[in-house]
Structure formats: structure tokens, C-alpha cells
Amino acid sequence: MLGAPHDQWDTLADTLHSMPVSLDELHDPKRVWSLGSDNPAELAAEISRLRAELGAYREALSRPFPVAMLHWPADELAELVAAYPELSAEYPSHEEHLATIETALRELASSGTPNLGVVTGTVPSYEAFAASEGTSPTDTTLLPQYATVLAARGRAVPWPPERGDACWCGSGQSYGECHGLAA
């Protein structure tokens, strides 16, 4: 909007943006200006573009999102528990955390729950989520809600991976040699 050159933040924003119209185009001052145009043809064109965008959002929102378990990578979990020691009861160790996720997913699968997934949390985004809910990150009832929000935003990785594919835990090993071992 300021007419500044495309920088690293824009590049990052582009990787997170999934809508058909690019952010640069969406924030193009010329385009925004055309919304204030008194030329009916320009306005009509702009309205039909906005309608198309809205359609894309509606479609994204109407897609069923997976039932997802929240996964914290080792460094994020260490940071989380250091910042909020109250959560150490929930997460005694990283290894146990990973084992709990796999067990919970297998239980859900065996009880017939379709469309399972794993979402990966980060401390800053979790803190932002807690703030948006007007509560403290130490509130453990927030954890599954945070997972649901990440899943709704399309961040879930489908579970289970194929045996030969990388494990969801990020170990770099195949699922069959890692958390899929006893599957």
C-alpha cells in the first residue's frame, strides 16, 4: 500500500496466502484506487473480481477440515514449557508427547473417525491465539481449540502417512521406521 518494494516479509506473506489473487495485486494501490472510481465499467469489473474472491473463500471454508492432533517440535515444546511451567503436567517430555499423539490418532482411527491429521504448533502463534481468546496460554483447554483453528486454516498434514513416507514427527525417518513402527 505504501508503494515500497517487495521485501522478505512480502515473500513470507506470499507463502501463507492461498487465495487466487496475489497479495501484491490485492494491495495494488491502483486497484484500491479503482474502488473509488466513478467509472461504472471499472467498478463493475472490480465487483466481479471481489465476487470471485469471495467464492474462493467460501469454498475454502466449506471444505471439511481434518480432526487434528497438536504436535510441538522439540524446540517449540522446550520453549513452551519453559515459558509456561504449568503446561509441564500436560507435556512431561517430548518423546512422551509424540507417543501420545500417535496413540490418540490410532484410537480415533480404530473408533472409525475419518479424515485425521497432525498440526504443528509454534509458541508465538499459540500465544497470539490465547490472546485472541482473552485467556492465558496455560489454559490447557485451549490446546485442542488451537489445533482445530490450525486445521481449519489448512495446516493439517494427513495421518497416517504411507509407511515409506516421512514420519509426521519430523524425525526424518520413514513413518514405518518411526512412529508407525507398531502399526
The interface region with Zn ion, picked from 29-37, 109-117, 127-135, 175-183 by CB under 5 A, is 175-183
Specify the 3-state DSSP secondary structure of 157: strand
* Neighbouring-strand partners of residue 158: 117
How many residues in the shown chain lie near Zn ion by CB under 5 A? 5
Question: Site for Zn ion (CB under 5 A): which residue of 69, 106, 167, 174?
Answer: 167
Residue 71 binds to Zn ion (criterion: CB under 5 A): no
Question: Site for Zn ion (CB under 5 A): which residue of 71, 97, 155, 179?
Answer: 179
Judge whether 142 and 125 are in contact, CB under 8 Å.
no
Residue 70 binds to Zn ion (criterion: CB under 5 A): no
Work out how close the CB of 96 gets to Zn ion at its nearest, in angstroms, rounded to a whole number.
Answer: 13
Pick the closer one to Zn ion by CB: 153 or 163. 163
Residue 105, CB-side half-sphere exposure with 13 Å CA sphere: 27
Closest CA to 86 of 128, 121, 138, 159: 138
Work out how close the CB of 161 gets to Zn ion at its nearest, in angstroms, rounded to a whole number.
Answer: 9
Pick the closer one to Zn ion by CB: 87 or 169. 169
DSSP E strands, 37-156: 67-71, 116-120
Residue 156 grid coordinates: 493439517
| Alpha carbon distance 31, 173 (integer Å) | 47
Question: Site for Zn ion (CB under 5 A): which residue of 171, 172, 181, 182?
Answer: 171
Residue 77 grid coordinates: 515444546
Q: Which residues bind Zn ion (CB under 5 A)?
A: 167, 169, 171, 178-179
